Amino acid sequence: MIANVAIIGAGHLGSRHLQGLSKIKRRINAYVVDPSPKSIETAKIRYKEVIVENRTQIESISFYEDLTLLPDKMDVVIVATNSNVRRKVVETLLNEKSVKNLILEKFLFQEISDFAVVGELLREKNVKAWVNCPRRMWDFYQSLKTDMAGATHIDYSVSGSNIGIGSNSIHFLDHLAFLSEDSGFELLPAFLDNEIIESKRSGYIEFTGTLSGTTSRGHRFGVTSYRQEGIPLVVQINSDKVRCLIRETEQKAFIAYKKENWAWREADFRVMFQSELTHLTVEQILDTGNCTLPTYEESSTLHIKVLTTLCSHLEKIQNKEVLTCPIT
């Protein structure tokens, strides 16, 4: 049977999803939806860049500016829109079409109320949904999770220039939740900077400073985003079983094990880009009805923690109630 797979949102990330989908080893019909002709054209160009090399099993590909033009029955839909329209897109999609499986980009939504509304709609329509926090899929981190099994205490920290606490801290919370199997976070906004900056994406904001917290099992977490340029991203993960320092942008990692008397050595590490991952996730879903990504329910819990904390920080700065946090 030929599966129907769609990508809604054909911008930078959506077009990378399409490049990844071109590697799929299952027969599918692919659909790309975006109201912007410019984004559609970008997606077409990026698809052509990889299509010959990948010898795709995509039977056909269609590009639309309106999601109502999609087939009535969809096997997998990836929603790669910005956060400000994601709820509306999901509602329109699920009310117009029969969708089996949904992959949502982060940051999911800008308002706390959206999470329950979309969650209820997913249950009503019997749709399985996951959120694209893909570090869970990287080979190095899957191996590290095995090495850390049974660790009783984990200190997890990330630092670098303009990391994007609003848009990207959820990746790192999910990463720790994956490694520790503990998603009971309590976050502290005390060390966030009071000056809010404009995001690289027009109409959105970003936060600098440090977002820190603990988990229900006592693991500690911190993400520090510096305003100064040029400070490389570093991930440090320390536990009673293994210590690890990862310089992701340099594709380098150093690791030390208690069982080896904490002797440091360089380890094989490679960033796995979205264009290398999307086909694997879709194949997992089509073959098993499940995938490595966190479920909507799992990720919503972490998203709500982050959004609540950032809204609280904005309220303190603006001295008024904040219901919407324009991050994406």
Query: Is residue 316 included in any domain, yes or no?
Result: no
* CA atoms of 6 and 21, how far apart (whole Å): 10
Domain-ending residue, one of 271, 293, 309: 271
Sheet holding 128-131, edge to edge: 58-64, 28-33, 3-8, 73-79, 98-104, 128-131
Residue pLDDT, tens place only, 63-104: 999 999 999 999 999 999 999 999 999 999 999 999 999 999
Report the DSSP beta bridge partners of residue 76.
Answer: 5, 101
- Statement to judge: residues 212 and 254 lie in one domain: yes
What is the domain-level CATH number for residue 68? 3.40.50.720
Residue 188 lies in a domain: yes
pLDDT at 80: 98
What's the whole-number mean pLDDT along residues 268-294?
Answer: 97
Number of helices (H) and strands (E) in the chain: give both, helices first.
Answer: 8, 16
In this prediction, residue 170 carries a pLDDT of: 98
What is the pTM assigned to this prediction?
0.96
Range of the domain at 157: 139-271
Report the range of poorest mean pLDDT among 126-135, 188-197, 275-284.
188-197
Looking at the fold, whether 174 and 221 belong to one and the same domain comes out as: yes
Euclidean distance between CA atoms 54 and 312, whole angstroms? 47
Count of other CB atoms within 10 angstroms of residue 262: 10
Q: What is the CATH number of the domain that holds 188?
A: 3.30.360.10
Q: Which residues pair with 205 in a beta bridge?
A: 198
